[in-house]
Structure 1
Amino acid sequence: MIAIRRARPADAAAIGAVHVAAWRSAYPGILPDDYLARLSVPRQAAHYDSAIRGGASVHVLTASGRDLPSSLVPGARIIGFVTANRGRDLADGEIETLYVLDDWRERGLGRLLLATAAQQLAAIGCRSVFLWVLRDNPSRFFYQHLGGRAVAESHTRVAGQTLAQIAFAWDPIERLVESASRAT
């Protein structure tokens, strides 16, 4: 069974592991290999533990039962997550992170996470939402497919490199909720 729920502090280690695995999968050729190799699950776990305990909007995607390969330990396993918060500059709300493990991609699960985050933001009064994605990250097409409109370009520094990024926005926020829900 696939389920989405609000993250708990006990989820932080699994969230950190998904974060590291997703970066190592998405960013070869974009970020230096040695930087990707040094990514730390405990450091990411500490970051997410602090965010969860601080009340940040973090939702996890879990798989259990028949949806888990038989080689894995029984019980629910975190296979993706999304974080969202009030927007800092381009819209009322911001999707800060969205990661799904490779083995679980192309199943509509990222759309489910996005719809959940957008619904959460709308519930706290956000009327629009945006996210940043590295320009060279192929996931930018995913956001375009869901109706995200490129509204800004900027640069960010990661691993000592300056990288171009694009902001995609949905205004009103219901456009993301509807497109993400409809596409699943």
Structure 2
Amino acid sequence: MTLDDVPAVAACRVFGWRRAYAGIVPQSYLDRMDLAEEAELRRTHFTKAGPRTVNLVAERDGLVVAWACFGPYRETEGVPLYSTPERPVAELYTLYALPEHHSTGAGRALMTASLERAHAAGFAALSLWVLKENAVARRFYEKAGCTWDGAEESFEIGGATVDEVRYVSLLSAAAAAAPSRG
């Protein structure tokens, strides 16, 4: 991803949210999402990202159709048991595709690239949070080799409480031997 990709990445997030979270997140919240505001937020995050944060885009015919971002696990508490100081856990912060590019392989390519790059960067595992009610995304991550590790949390968005579950993909044989939550 480059700074020039920010407007397209903002579109992936806004339209991806509207498709993925319809019926889960209040529609009024989804309808209020603004492309210009999202682009400014993405620009700020991109320019302030730490050295271990990786932003990737998938392109078709020269246009950005999907976006993923991962980096060090953000939480200080509840870190997965397989994290060590030498081999920390990465977190997939986001993966969204434009709705017309769902089921085209763009998301799968970004997921594969994220797993490969996280492994190459020395992370023990790649974790992610997904809305518990988002069956499509949960199947997507399960097909990519991620498993639910038993962790759950709730947050409020648009006046509604939604639940998330944490999925994890271990990235090495050594990490696979470590205990996990279940």
- SS of aligned partner of 2:15: helix
Q: Say whether residues 1:142 and 2:144 are aligned partners.
A: no
Task: Report runs of 4+ in structure 1 exceeding 4 Å deviation.
Answer: none
* Structure 1 segment 18-167 matched on structure 2, within 5 A: 18-55=12-49, 56-64=53-61, 76-88=62-74, 89-90=79-80, 92-138=89-135, 139-151=137-149, 152-167=151-166
Deviations 1:51-77 (A, max 9, x none): 22224311111111xxxxxxxxxxx11
Shift of 1:105: 1.5
Shift of 1:173: 5.4
Amino-acid identity (%)? 26
What's the TM-score, normalizing by structure 1?
A: 0.79
Q: Does the 8 A contact of 2:123 with 2:171 survive in 1?
A: no
- SS of aligned partner of 1:125: coil
One-letter code of the match for 1:143? Y
What's the TM-score, normalizing by structure 2?
A: 0.80
- SS of aligned partner of 1:85: strand
Deviations 1:102-155 (A, max 9, x none): 221212221110111122222221011110000111211111222211111111
Q: Aligned partners of 1:51, 1:119: CA distance in 2, in Å?
A: 23
Shift of 1:158: 1.6
- SS of aligned partner of 1:28: coil
- SS of aligned partner of 1:35: helix
One-letter code of the match for 2:38? Q
Question: Which consecutive residues of structure 2, in runs of 5 or more, have no partner in the other structure?
Answer: 84-88, 174-182
CA RMSD of aligned residues (A): 1.6
* Structure 1 segment 161-180 matched on structure 2, within 5 A: 161-172=160-171
Deviations 1:29-65 (A, max 9, x none): 111111111001112111211222224311111111x
